Amino acid sequence: MGREDEEKYGDGVIVGYGTINGRKVFLFAQDFTFMGGSLGTVHARKIQKVQEMSLKMGHPIIGLIDSGGARIQEGVASLAGYAGIFMQNVKSSGVIPQISVILGPAAGGAVYSPALTDFRFMTKDTSYMFVTGPEVVKEVLNEDVTFEDLGGAEVHATESGVADMIFNDEEHTLMGVKKLLSYLPSNNVEHPPVKRDEDIEPGKPEKLSLLLPDDPNKPYDVVDVIRLIVDKGSFFEIAEKHAQNIVIGLARLNNQVIGVVANQPKVMAGCLDINASKKAARFVRFCDSFNVPVLVLEDVPGFMPGKSQEQNAIIMHGAKLLYAFAEATVPKVTVILRKAFGGAYIVMNSKNMGGDFNFAWPTAQVAVMGPEGAVKILNRKELASAKDPEELKRKLIADYKDNVANPYVADEKGYIDEVIDPSETRQVIINAFALLENKVEQNPIRKHGNIPL
């Protein structure tokens, strides 16, 4: 066979299986040099075949995507090919981890299949994702746009949130995929792999007591808190550049894999907005699908107010996070580091939303709203008629902190299980997850819930 025939024989995609760090995975890799990696009937059947095998055998599947989408010459047959792939993506969702790695341009169906998978990796400057390319944009909208601006790795990692991880080159991108897999079980009936490391190095939890600023309105980096709690060097942050007011990622705690969701006070004071709610909700659901216990580190002044948020449906998007925590049956532990106000208190895995263990640091403020706001509303008349309003305000704020917004009140009422010293946090969480090891909880049988989309 000549080179051309050989290429036709493969129809622009290689499929197969192998091992990564000794664990089995299925893969397919598209070849852009053959008809732009476009998806024809044979190409589609090959991908569907490995999709079916990976689902039946319970192993993760990785797609290396480099494709112009449905093969135009094959018409409806190529569209039907994508439909079959999407069906298989959905069937596998929550059963086996599905990972998409975008290594070149990806358009049309080539982006919708990745969108149905659990994670999307991209490489800077060489990978692109868009429903329609720059030429179509020019034709339909008469707009000039570059590949980079329309769907480059940076845009998807920061603005759209489509890319979960981006790297400078393909080698590091693939290393990132391998690292992610090291935290994941092969399927939804397995538990995440336990590292058999006798010499776990904790991340210096004693330093936690010194980390929070004295002023409750001053920011700090919650990633420092995470790193001091989990096993040293084990935090693998996901979607680092998107919705930075919330931090999500996988880590190991005493060698056991956990998922971490943490408000980030250094960005927008850690407020929950639309993007943060979506980012965290999706991650919680992923963790729940694959038996990854969830740790919540909470410091959140509330949901983000404003016209833009309301007009873009913060109500529905914020509800996604409520829904995700409420339906998750994996072990769920919350530590309130500082602020836990209003709806944001409820949503961040509070006791009544199904938190299994809820702890708070002594610095925690748990209330409907912050002291300043509360005093303004509750004591407006007294303050208006006071001889020294500032002095009275200070006193009222102190009273509010003592009697309402402190963790001991929440503890007394059973909404917090224990107020803990920050330096004990790691050990307390390890003990909590150990107790939860055999947790059994089931949602009512139903076709599926109706998460607010």
Q: Between residues 109 and 193, which has the closer beta carbon with respect to ligand HXC?
A: 109
72 near ligand HXC (CB under 6 A): yes
Q: Answer yes or no: are the C-beta atoms of 248 and 280 closer than 8 Å.
A: yes
* Interacting residue with ligand HXC among 133, 302, 371, 407 (CB under 6 A): 133
108 near ligand HXC (CB under 6 A): yes
65 near ligand HXC (CB under 6 A): no
Query: Whole-angstrom Cα distance, residue 137 to residue 141?
Result: 5
- Supply angle C-alpha 419, 281, 181, rounded to 5: 95
**Per-residue string for binding with ligand HXC, 7-36, x by CB under 6 A?**
----------------------------xx
Q: Which is it for strands 256-263 and 236-238: parallel, antiparallel or unpaired?
A: unpaired
Residue 26 CB, nearest distance to ligand HXC (Å)?
A: 22
Query: Whole-angstrom Cα distance, residue 160 to residue 368?
Result: 32
By annotation, the residues acting in catalysis are 108-109, 343-344
Q: What is the largest CA-CA distance in the chain?
A: 97
Q: Between residues 36 and 193, which has the closer beta carbon with respect to ligand HXC?
A: 36
Q: Which is it for strands 246-253 and 165-167: parallel, antiparallel or unpaired?
A: unpaired
80 near ligand HXC (CB under 6 A): no
107 near ligand HXC (CB under 6 A): yes
| Gap between the terminal Cα atoms of the chain | 51
Residue 157 CB, nearest distance to ligand HXC (Å)?
A: 19
114 near ligand HXC (CB under 6 A): no
Residue 248 CB, nearest distance to ligand HXC (Å)?
A: 27
148 near ligand HXC (CB under 6 A): no
Tokens of 277: 């709610």
79 near ligand HXC (CB under 6 A): yes
Residues in contact with ligand HXC, counted by CB under 6 A, come to a total of: 18
Tokens of 151: 């769907």
Residue 15 CB, nearest distance to ligand HXC (Å)?
A: 19
**Which whole-number Å values give the CA distances from 242 to 114, 150, 247, 452, in the listed order?**
18, 17, 9, 21
Tokens of 325: 């925590």
Count, residues in the chain? 453
* Interacting residue with ligand HXC among 12, 63, 81, 109 (CB under 6 A): 109
Query: Whole-angstrom Cα distance, residue 90 to residue 69?
Result: 19
Residue 40 CB, nearest distance to ligand HXC (Å)?
A: 8
List interacting residues with ligand HXC (CB under 6 A): 35-36, 38, 68-72, 79, 82, 105, 107-109, 112, 132-133, 135
